Amino acid sequence: MGAWIRSAPAMAYLIAALGFIYLPVVVLVVFSFQDGLLPVPPFKGPSLQWYEKMFANERLVESLINSVVVAVSSALVTTILGFLAAYGMARRTPRFAGGIRFILMAPLTVSYLIIAIGLLITFNIVGIQKSLFAVGLGHVVINLPLCFAIIYSQFGDHLRNIDWAAHDLGASDVQTLLHVIAPIMKPSLFASFCLSATLSWDEFIIAFLLSRFDVTMPVVIFEMLRAGLTPEVNAAGTMVFAISMVTVGIAAMVMAVNHGERK
Amino acid sequence: MNRRPGFDFTRWAYQPALIFTVVFFGLPLATMVVVSFWQRIYGKLTATWTFANYNKFFGKDYLVDALWNSIEVTLATTAISIILAYPLAYILAYRVPARWQRFVLILTVLPFWTAYVVRSYSWLLVISENGILNIMMTEFGLIDQPLEMAYSRGATILGFVHFFTMLLTLTIYANLVQIKPSYRKAAADLGASPLQVFLRITLPLSIPGVAVGAFITFVICIGDFITPQILGGGTEVLLPQAIMLQVSRAANFPMASVMSITLMVVVVGVYFMSAKHLKMERV
């Protein structure tokens, strides 16, 4: 047995752990193809009826569109803000750099729930209506630290030199940023866009508290959960999972290719 | 350096993000602190500046209980997840051949991206009364009647442990592969047994990975509403559920603020207790 992995107990533990990790996922996906009313054994099928039912569910389809809109637009804003911040911090170290980094990273240490409640109360007092736009703002708040950190970590000293070279050759600040720095940073910009789009796509509590009519898909799925176990929820969950995985997978591949090139 | 007169763009590039964070993160938190001293009188928020909400929170047993429930569940989750994740990360780092490591690691953390609202539900499919586990055990004659596993504190912890084991495996693995093999070789050459090498070299050096993972686990776990809401029992609530009740049913923002601040204070306290092990930049 020693060829692949050196000890039998280690192999056994690895298999057991993977079994534990995959058990609920497999059950979720398999029983989304159930040909029956309950997503529990025995498995009859496979059938696509629950996917058909899901796409016939107008509220769900509407929420799917809302989710995509929020994910794409909030990820776009997050990536632009994160890129500018990373550039500003890396190009020349500003005064109070430590303090600025602390503020930018601070939202990471606060629960989404608390961020959501804070925004809810503030919007309520200021008179901003609950809406998809409010949800998007919340998603930018939670994803900005991650995007900033990802992009900032990719800014090396070589970029500082390239930036100076571009300036010395007469490029303006904006030209340098758009035509020199951004193209070099494209892989990490793309990765941070994908990551924040995925996190927004999957986020529940902010979307739940800050939207009223134009709800996102996780909120609608949450409402569906009250009906108990049904293969339709399995189908919806499987689709959300699949889309997240594809997005993250693309981001990971772009990052890996970039990593390989630079080595 | 200032070759160009007038507005220097590069100097201010970090400002939009900073302003955004201050306005949409800092300000709401400050508002929450202010509102926690206000009162809701006849359904309207009124600026009163009193500690009444705090007294009410710490005076009501069921609210303090919710806080304790949350802390207990979170500590149990963190401990169990570390115990499960550490051997897994260790096996990944030291037992799986190098060229397979990336693949197995990705395989291990892939379900991390299962839809968040559906993650707890998928455990219901496994452990509920007519779930797959009960059906299988009945089939094999292990039990006569279905066991009641869902809708309990244990079920909540199970749901949490599943998620955070993946997260901790990632942070511990990232730490383990950074430890130079020469340290372990040197210890072994000097006569340390494999157990001694682990206890005196590997384990102490891997504490930062454990600490970072444990801290992230703590922060996310203690603020999570969905998992206890779906998997938990009707007999007890955790703090996030209690907060949601204040917001959605009573629209009592001052009370929700008090509870959110309490939650934050707990997290900040844990941060300072573990600060010396946390080197966030490295993960």
Q: Is A55 part of any domain?
A: yes
Place of tokens 């990336």: B102
Is residue B46 exposed (0-12), middle (13-18) or buried (19+ Cβ within 10 Å)? exposed
Closest residue by Cα to residue A54 from A31, A32, A24: A32
Closest residue by Cα to residue B159 from B228, B111, B215, B108: B228
**pLDDT tens track for B80-101:** 999 999 999 999 998 888 888 8
Distance to chain A for B227, nearest Cα, Å:
11
Q: Is B82 part of any domain?
A: yes
Residue-level pLDDT at B43:
74
CATH number of residue B170's parent domain: 1.10.3720.10
Residue-level pLDDT at B250:
76
Q: Is A144 part of any domain?
A: yes
Q: Is A19 part of any domain?
A: no
**Which chain A residue has its CA at the smallest distance from B166's CA?**
A21
Which residues of chain B neighbour A103 with C-beta distances below 8 Å? 18, 21-22, 26
Could you tell me the pLDDT band of residue B281, with boundaries at 50, 70 and 90?
very low
**pLDDT tens track for B151-169:** 899 999 999 999 999 999 9
Return the half-sphere exposure (C-beta side, CA atoms, 13 A cut-off) of residue B236. Answer: 20
Could you tell me the pLDDT band of residue B60, with boundaries at 50, 70 and 90?
confident
Q: Is A44 part of any domain?
A: no
Residue-level pLDDT at A217:
93
H helix runs in A127-204, sequence order? 132-154, 157-168, 173-175, 182-202
Q: Is B51 part of any domain?
A: no
| Strand B44-46 versus strand B39-41 pairing type | antiparallel
Could you tell me the pLDDT band of residue B52, with boundaries at 50, 70 and 90?
confident
Which residues of chain A neighbour B240 with C-beta distances below 8 Å? 111, 113
Domain that holds residue B110: 58-282
Q: Is B132 part of any domain?
A: yes
> Structurally, how many domains does chain A consist of?
1
Q: Is B42 part of any domain?
A: no
CATH number of residue A129's parent domain: 1.10.3720.10
> Structurally, how many domains does chain B consist of?
1
Residue-level pLDDT at B279:
61
Contact present, A88 and A94 (Cβ < 8 Å): yes
Residue-level pLDDT at A95:
79
Could you tell me the pLDDT band of residue B280, with boundaries at 50, 70 and 90?
low
Q: Is A35 part of any domain?
A: no
Q: Is A32 part of any domain?
A: no
Residue-level pLDDT at B33:
94
Q: Is A2 part of any domain?
A: no
Could you tell me the pLDDT band of residue B144, with boundaries at 50, 70 and 90?
confident
Residues 6+ apart with CB under 8 A from B243: A113, A117, B225, B256, B259, B260, B263
Better-scored residue on pLDDT, A257 or B72: B72
Residue-level pLDDT at B2:
45
Vertex B149, ends B147 and B153: CA angle to 5°? 150
When pLDDT is averaged across residues B43-63 and rounded to a whole number, the result is 83
**pLDDT tens track for B204-261:** 999 989 999 999 999 999 999 999 999 997 778 999 999 999 998 778 899 999 999 9
Residue A21's CB: how many other CB atoms inside 10 A? 23
**pLDDT tens track for B219-228:** 999 999 999 9
Chain A interface disruption, residue of B1, B74, B106, B118, most A CBs within 10 A: B118
Q: Is A4 part of any domain?
A: no
Q: Give, for all 263 residues of chain A, the pLDDT tens digit.
A: 444 566 788 889 999 999 999 999 999 998 888 887 777 777 787 888 888 888 988 999 999 999 999 999 999 999 999 999 998 888 777 778 889 999 999 998 899 999 999 999 999 999 888 999 999 999 999 999 999 999 998 887 778 788 888 888 888 888 888 888 888 888 889 989 999 999 999 999 999 999 988 999 999 999 998 888 888 888 999 999 999 889 888 888 887 777 665 54
Q: Is B203 part of any domain?
A: yes
pTM of the model: 0.90
ipTM of the complex: 0.89
pLDDT for B1 beyond 60:
no
Which residues of chain B neighbour A234 with C-beta distances below 8 Å? 125
**Which structure tokens are listed for A239?**
């689709």
Instruction: Output the CA torsion sign for A168, A169, A174, A180.
Output: negative
**Which structure tokens are listed for B250?**
């009573």
Which residues of chain A neighbour B111 with C-beta distances below 8 Å? 21-22, 24-25
Residue-level pLDDT at B282:
44
Could you tell me the pLDDT band of residue B67, with boundaries at 50, 70 and 90?
very high
Q: Is B45 part of any domain?
A: no
Residue-level pLDDT at A6:
63
Distance to chain B for A78, nearest Cα, Å:
9
When pLDDT is averaged across residues B6-33 and rounded to a whole number, the result is 87
For all residues of chain B together, what is the average pLDDT?
Answer: 88
Residues 6+ apart with CB under 8 A from A261: none
Distance to chain B for A149, nearest Cα, Å:
9
Place of tokens 């009592």: B252
Which residues of chain B neighbour A233 with C-beta distances below 8 Å? 118, 121
Contact present, A193 and A76 (Cβ < 8 Å): yes
CA of residue A92 relative to chain centroid, distance: 30
Bridge partners of B44, per DSSP, are: B41
Domain that holds residue A233: 49-262
Better-scored residue on pLDDT, B29 or A252: B29
Q: Do A237 and B131 touch (CB under 8 A)?
A: no
Q: Is B24 part of any domain?
A: no
Q: Do A40 and B130 touch (CB under 8 A)?
A: yes
Three-class SS of residue B46? Answer: strand
Q: Is B11 part of any domain?
A: no
Terminal-to-terminal C-alpha distance of chain A: 35
Terminal-to-terminal C-alpha distance of chain B: 34
Residue-level pLDDT at B175:
92
H helix runs in B223-252, sequence order? 226-231, 239-248
CA of residue B144 relative to chain centroid, distance: 37
